[in-house]
Amino acid sequence: MILRRLTVWVAVLATCNVSEGLAAQANRIQVDGVRFSGTSAEAVTVPYIMIGAGHRDSMFGGSIDLSGSIQLDVQAIDASLVNIEELTFNYSAGPLDFRIGVGDVSWGLSDVRSPVDAMAPRAVFFDAYNGARLGQPLLGLSAFSQWGDLEAVIFPFPRSPHMGGRLKRTWNGSSVRSDLGWGERPVGGLRMARILGSTDIALSYVHGGERTLWISSDRPGEAGVVIPSLRQAGVELQRALGSVVLRTEGSLAKRDGDTEARIVAGAEWYPKPYLTLMVEQGLSSLNRAQASPLVDDIMLGGQLVTEEIRFSNLVFIDPKSGNRHYFVETRWTPTARTAIEVELITWAGDATQEPGLALRQRNVLRASLLRYF
């Protein structure tokens, strides 16, 4: 079997915790030593090596899909990640599609805070809210008809979120540990999707253990990652109106006995083929100490894509406290096989106004050199 895609990232990650009020000023990059220097309350430079590969082939009348990645933390090997993103056998028989192996199922519309997407664990390295999705053993069946598309999936031996070791504290200062193994609380779901003209609609139900990051405090100053029980009904609506796409998704969930309703609504505008502007608002019926700081925030974003440059930014603003979270990424592709990425993740405001048991986002500057083979 020949690898058809091989990506090597040599990523240098500089994280700076400015919660004590000191500004992070990374003012010098030394390429040969890969060193970031500056002043802050706490600054760490972390070299990463990331390798990804993929392959697709046919076998026994079906197809084999393989993709995976290794994220190597050079300074903490035990915190590194080997992620089989997909290793599945797919077989079609008339209106039915079967899928078995290791993989992922992405439901919902929002990439960062979908209330519907509850079965996908993520890896936490330097982004507390939007890490890499993790593959896990699955069985899936899809049925297609004139009434819509029905998808059923079960993860009989799921995995927990991966904690990379660099983000290990909550907003209230508790240190976080993760000692969960594979197989904690299997999870499965059903989703029915249909297209009605320019409108997409989907209904879903999830039962089992929630795989999104959830933290519980068992003693003062300490907290652990847990897998709460989950029963959740979800809905997704998306409508295209010319160059504007309107989106709404919501869920009604019972998590460890507590009922919560969540909704995310927004719009994307494409004034030019290379330009996207976004606005989104999230709402939740509960004020939980474990909730992500982004749950009830207004999101403003944009993306500019040219042949060589891609620039994207997101800012989340809490209407109550005024706290802000920023995600800015630029990618330059000087050749067909080489790219350079720079990403900045930062926040501003009052840490006491954030959910106490949510994972605390440190300020991060990431520089990456990517090489394709």
pLDDT at 50: 85
pLDDT at 42: 62
Least confident of 33-37, 211-215, 340-344: 33-37
| Domain count of the fold of the chain | 1
Neighbour-count burial of 326, counting CB atoms closer than 10 A to its CB (0-12 exposed, 13-18 middle, 19+ buried): middle
Indicate the pTM of the whole model.
0.86
pLDDT of 7 > 80? The answer is no
Share of the chain above pLDDT 70, in %: 89
Contacts made by residues 305-309, CB under 8 angstroms, sequence distance 24+: 305/274, 305/275, 306/274, 307/333, 308/332, 308/333, 308/334, 309/333
Please give the Cα distance from 42 to 240 (Å, whole number): 46
Please give the Cα distance from 31 to 332 (Å, whole number): 17
pLDDT digits (tens, 9 = 90+) for 59-85: 888 999 999 988 888 888 888 899 999
pLDDT at 59: 84
In this structure, what CATH number is given to the domain that contains residue 234?
2.40.160.100
What does 65-78 look like in DSSP terms, one character per residue? EEEEEEEEETT-GG
Q: What is the mean pLDDT of the chain?
A: 86
Expressed as residue numbers, the domain containing 329 is: 2-372
Report residue 312's pLDDT band, with 50, 70 and 90 as the boundaries. very high
